[in-house]
A and B are shown apart, each in its own frame.
Chain A
Amino acid sequence: VRRAVVAVLSAAAGFAVVVGAGGGTGSLRELVRDVVGAPPSPAVAPRLHVSATTYAPVATTTIDGPAIDYGYGVLQLAVTFANHRIEQVGIAHFVAADGYSAALEQAAIPVLDAEVLRAQGLPIDVVTGATYTSEAYATSLQAVLDRERLAHP
């Protein structure tokens, strides 16, 4: 049982990170960058692969992905499953390099990743959030949705 869980764990974590790294928008890497305020160095970017079909447990389970050193800290994601689906991707553990301890506190609010939601068949139509200016729009999640709609009408 232990071995099976570990296999699921790495497949799921790999899935989430590969979606982020290979999907063009780099969602999880952007997420990490937003949390810690610095771009991850490409030299230490994760190279993970989905080696098998993700087969997640039925009962609600939260498991931790591998700890990955992004250069400014070690980040470990927690993936919560229910009914064979990824419910949530959160930050299980984050050891910040010097100067990022404030960012660690901000990571305490669970994060849903829009890419993961879409991969699970729950695409988002539109985003609500605190008011953004025209300048801030460019980096908003709404802008990502708009660009995707234009690219795949």
Chain B
Amino acid sequence: VTTSAVFDAMGTTLSVVIEGAPSEGAEAALVRLRSEIEGLEASLSAWRPDSALARARRGEDVDDAALREVRSLASLLSLLTGGAFDPRGPGGLDLDGVAKGWIVDRAAEIAFSELAQARISVAAGGDVWLRGVHRVGVAHPRVRSGLVAALACEGGVATSGTSERGCHVRAPDGAPLAFLQATVCAPALWLADGLATALLVAGERLEARLAAIEGVGWLVVTHRGEVRSGGAVEVLMGPSGTAGDLVVG
């Protein structure tokens, strides 16, 4: 049986598909997922003035378990990426590149703990949490209804780019972004989310570091229109060469 739901949370729209679980169990898990996400968002929302994150930014002494955990993951990502992932934004502590993915990881882990056999996807505004291998289309950075590749992934997959919310990702030193778009598959969504942001900023020099992390693979679109992949990712379909190969007219 397949159960699916679409609902708004974290400033975006979530699409959830649960396959291979009885519908009562799946529906209960969906209710649980929503409430877990809401609870974690109350700690980590950048927009709610009363969130733990907002209070920490104002310099208040905050004791919040979710904030502590995400801050330590942000430091870990900074170490893993040689500083390309930078949790210090212009407005103070900036957890955009890791908080959303982590919220989905944690909420899904709790909500779906009793659906051990189910195949599940949670698409959260371009970042996707996956249990079981899924065929994932990578959105084209310029053509809204098009794809640039199809990948086989499980765990988490996230894409950083400039197409939808405008250029909200910045290089720490204000340098131009290394790629037009970067997609990362990883065993957890917070990791995929953080590494995709770092890869977009740091570019090629980060690829060797990513290759050293078990279960991490990537696909990037360069400013010249090349599509390139590496690491532990299975590209089901994608351009094999540069865009120039196609422009035969």
Contact = CB atoms under 8 A, between A and B. Distances in A.
Do A and B associate with each other? yes
B130 A130 contact: no
Contacts of A125: 17, 121, 134-136
A133 B181 CA distance: 18
A137 B13 contact: yes
A30 interface: yes
B145 A141 contact: yes
Interface in B160-196: 160-165, 168, 180-181, 183
Main secondary structure of the interface of B (DSSP, over half): strand
B4, B146, B158, B225 — most chain A CB neighbours (10 Å): B146
Contact of A129 (B121, B164, B224, B249): B164
A88 B127 CA distance: 24
Interface stretch (B55-63, B206-214, B232-240): B232-240
Contacts of B140: 109, 111-112
Residues of A in contact with B, size category? 35 or more
A30 B145 contact: yes
Contacts of A113: 146-147
A140 B148 CA distance: 14
Interface of A: 25, 27, 30-31, 34-35, 62, 64, 76, 78, 80, 87-88, 90-94, 106-114, 117, 122-134, 136-137, 139-146, 149-150, 153
Interface of B: 2, 4, 6, 8, 11-13, 15, 17, 100, 121, 123, 125-128, 130, 134-150, 157-165, 168, 180-181, 183, 221, 224-225, 227, 236-239, 243, 245-249
